[in-house]
Amino acid sequence: MRIPGAALFSSRYRLLQKRLHPITKEWGLTFYVLRHSKLAVIGGFIALAFIIIALFGSLFAPYDPISANIQDRFQPPSASHPLGTDTMGRDVMSRMLAGAQHSIKAGLIVLAIAVPLGVLLGGIAGLFGGWVDEVIMRITDMFLAFPSLVLAMAFSAALGPSLFNAMIALSIVWWPMYARLVRGQALAVRETSYVEAARSRGASNFHIMFKHILPNCLSPILVTLTLDMGWVITAAASLSFLGFGAQPPIPEWGRMVSDGRIYMLRAWWMSVFPGLGIMFVVLGFNLLGDGIRDSLDPKLRRLTEVTWKREKTSSSSTD
């Protein structure tokens, strides 16, 4: 049976495929490079597992992560409580499954505030130069002069201890790094002849910022973002550990490490498992970030392209 218009549709589809080919080809290579870096694959799996746990973890928690159950306190890891129980008899595994969302929320919100702020300020500083650059970058230097965690502690102490305030505090200390990154890139792009050519065509500063400078900053931002995801999660956990972030009974991982540390000798599982969780998540995001950086490195790309093409032709000939 012939469907009317099918021929037209399929020819259009083929045209679309052909037009998209340069893009999809590059994606294919990107995935190939990523796939062939074992560490990046491992990192990707850890990050993916973490995100899945954050999204659905509380559904799988066998016990209530919040309400106390005093007769079961300080249970060592066993079949009924795989990761043991804490001072209130709450199941550590259930708490960790339910708490993953707070870590990822912290990471995402902090980066969602800090990155656009830093990119915008850095871009403006780099593009306009002169006194605008001086003012913005000196403020940036002021922020960078303090150890970031100490400064974040100061801000969250001033705002009052809660997970949300900890995120605000971290965003305040996190943007300067992005401002620096983008400013450096903007300074380089500003001097290129294609920006001069764009100006000769009557492009405004706004156009130059959004059409020339930002697209050229995209890949370093992407890499830093992935690497930072892990660090922000650690920083949020650290703030909670120190009592500035999540307040009880929120099952935040850093808070759980902190709660367990007094019982370290009696009930080591209370601190060790959330601590290991934090470590793996940070490791996962860092490995993934490294992998993404490698896959975006043009030199490595061109080297790998050769083997990629060879593999593709050999697999298609054996088919």
Partner 1 sequence: MEAREDLLVVDRLKTQFFTYGGLVEALDEVSFEIKKGEIFGLVGESGCGKSVTATSILRLVAKPGKIISGRVLLDGQDLLEKNDHEMNSIRGSRIAMIFQDPTSSLNPVFRIGRQVGEPYVYHQHRGKRQALMDATRILAKTGFPDADEKARNYPHELSGGLRQRAMIAMALTCEPELLIADEPTTNLDVTIGRQILDLVKDLQREFGASVLWITHDMAVVAQMCDRVGVMYAGSIVEKTDVRTLFRNAKHPYTVRLLRAIPSAAKSAETLEEIPGSVPQLIHPPSGCRFHPRCDSAMDVCSQVKPLEIEVEPGHVVACHLFRGKGKVT
Residue ranges binding partner 1 (CB under 8 A): 19, 22, 129, 192-194, 196-204, 207, 211-212, 215-216
- With respect to partner 1, which residue has the nearer C-beta, 53 or 209? 209
Our CA angle for 247, 269, 250, nearest 5°, is 15
- With respect to partner 1, which residue has the nearer C-beta, 4 or 202? 202
Query: What is the smallest separation between the CB atom of 174 and partner 1, expressed in angstroms?
Result: 26
- With respect to partner 1, which residue has the nearer C-beta, 152 or 217? 217
DSSP string, 84-97: -B-TT--BHHHHHH
CA 50/CA 97 separation, integer angstroms? 9
Query: What is the smallest separation between the CB atom of 80 and partner 1, expressed in angstroms?
Result: 57
| Phi-psi map region of 109: left, alpha, beta (phi>0 left; psi -120 to 50 alpha) | alpha
Query: What is the smallest separation between the CB atom of 5 and partner 1, expressed in angstroms?
Result: 23
Q: Which residues of 229-267 are buried (b: 16+ CB within 10 A; e: fewer)?
A: bbbbbbbbbbbbbbbbbbeeebbbbbbbbbbbeebeeeb
CA 148/CA 143 separation, integer angstroms? 8
Q: Rg of the chain's alpha carbons, rounded to an integer?
A: 25
Query: What is the smallest separation between the CB atom of 129 and partner 1, expressed in angstroms?
Result: 8
Query: What is the smallest separation between the CB atom of 156 and partner 1, expressed in angstroms?
Result: 39
- With respect to partner 1, which residue has the nearer C-beta, 203 or 225? 203
- With respect to partner 1, which residue has the nearer C-beta, 193 or 317? 193
Query: What is the smallest separation between the CB atom of 34 and partner 1, expressed in angstroms?
Result: 21
- With respect to partner 1, which residue has the nearer C-beta, 133 or 228? 133
Diameter over CA atoms, the chain: 78
- With respect to partner 1, which residue has the nearer C-beta, 5 or 22? 22
**CB contact set of 117 (below 8 Å; sequence gap of 6+):** 171, 175, 178, 179
Query: What is the smallest separation between the CB atom of 126 and partner 1, expressed in angstroms?
Result: 14
DSSP character at residue 265: T
CA 206/CA 193 separation, integer angstroms? 18
Nearest to 255 by CA among 93, 102, 64, 73: 102
